[in-house]
Amino acid sequence: MGGLKKVIEYDYDDFTFDSFEEDGFFEDEYDYEDGYDYDATLFESEYNYNLSAKFDDLDIPPGVEAPLPWLQKTAAEMSNKTKPIMIVDDKVDEKYNAFKQFDTVDCHSDHYYSKPELRRVQVVKKPSKDWAKRIQHEWKVLEKDLPDTIFVRAYEDRMDLLRAVIMGPAGTPYHDGLFFFDIYFPPQYPNTPPLVSYRSGGLRLNPNLYACGKVCLSLLNTWSGSGCEKWNPSNSTMLQVLVSIQALVLNAKPYFNEPGYANSANTPSGEKRSLTYNEDTFLLSCRTMLYSLRNPPKHFENFVAGHFRKYGHNVLVACKAYLDGAQVGCLVGNGVQDVDEGDKSCSLKFKTSLKRLFEELLMEFTVKGADCDKFLSEKAKSAAAATRATTDTTLRL
């Protein structure tokens, strides 16, 4: 389903307008000064059983099971295993590499605005020809000018909908992550900006991205701004919105995105709080990775699997670096640190939470076929050493 051929001819008489009260801003209070409140039990989730089942079918190094509760099996369970050995889909890379940056698809059932009347927004049923032509123009711009790290899907039978995924930029606490947005063009477009909902999975990992999905951005008229910062019907584009989210929202120091905190930038106290915020943000970004792996949006299943198969190793390398004390966000690719060697930062709370997340990421990435051999081997050696130590202690008693 490629290209724009199926959208050029459109029967404008098939539409009528239904008006609904415009939705107001979401209320989502949050005290950034105190950081995020983590519940450790969230990591002991129902996914443990599913991970265990997945690893029944994978050939992993002996000893890896020992330290992981979800891989511990009884002898009876192991002897009764009748499942065939799982072969990781050898077409994952092929499908991922063939994934177009812009394309048209059909089913929109899981889109946030699939039924806009439920979101209390105006429904597009009889748009003007100018509306349709403008959106067709937006499609062409997206198809031509999208940067390499943003991918978009339009819907053949719903010109009012788009879905985009933005890759987290290197050098930020969002690196290697995937961030999905559902977009709706209201009937007044482009006189009013598009509506954008962030697929958060219930997590708020940025002052501008609310857990409820609200995106705070001047360009969307959901935040204050002036001049070119605000939506301009003549000049502003959907491409501009997506690039702005990637560059201005998913940045290296999101703590200072919050008004009131911007004035503390480049001060010792402000930078310290920013580092702590980045640690919390990376933890939430890791949880977002797990959410996307387990709940990939429709039409992006192959992209999510291929992305983390390709970048999973880099994520694990980063986790190890951060556990060793490197500042979150200092990695610019392949484990290279863009920070002074003596400039270390890693809180105990962060380490404790990241260790748990590392185990879950390692398991999910391994299932997806990412290069995890080094980390699995290290875990096997560590488990073997722990077993020997326990045995020696027992013998001495």
Could you list the active site residues?
Answer: 216
CA angle 108, 216, 39 (to 5 degrees): 85
Q: Which residue has the tokens 């002036």?
A: 226
* DSSP letter assigned to residue 106: S
Q: Which residue has the tokens 């879905």?
A: 163
The token duo for 40 is 């450790």
CA angle 354, 359, 362 (to 5 degrees): 115
The answer for residues whose C-beta is within 8 angstroms of residue 3's C-beta and 6 or more apart is 103, 104, 143
Asked if 176 and 315 touch (Cβ cutoff 8 Å), the reply is yes
> Any bridge partners for residue 197, and if so which?
182, 214
Q: Which residue has the tokens 């959208």?
A: 7
Asked if 148 and 97 touch (Cβ cutoff 8 Å), the reply is no
Cα-Cα end-to-end distance for the chain: 70
As a whole number of angstroms, the distance between CA 201 and CA 213 comes to 9
* DSSP letter assigned to residue 389: H
The token duo for 77 is 């369970």
Question: How buried is residue 323: exposed, middle or buried, by Cβ count under 10 Å (0-12/13-18/19+)?
Answer: middle
Q: Torsions phi, psi of 324, nearest 5?
A: -85, 0
As a whole number of angstroms, the distance between CA 172 and CA 77 comes to 44
The token duo for 202 is 């219930």
Q: For residue 232, how far is the Cα from the chain centroid?
A: 29
* DSSP letter assigned to residue 247: I
As a whole number of angstroms, the distance between CA 380 and CA 355 comes to 16
Q: Could you tell me the strand order of the sheet in which 195-198 lies?
A: 102-105, 150-155, 158-167, 178-184, 195-198
Asked if 212 and 28 touch (Cβ cutoff 8 Å), the reply is yes
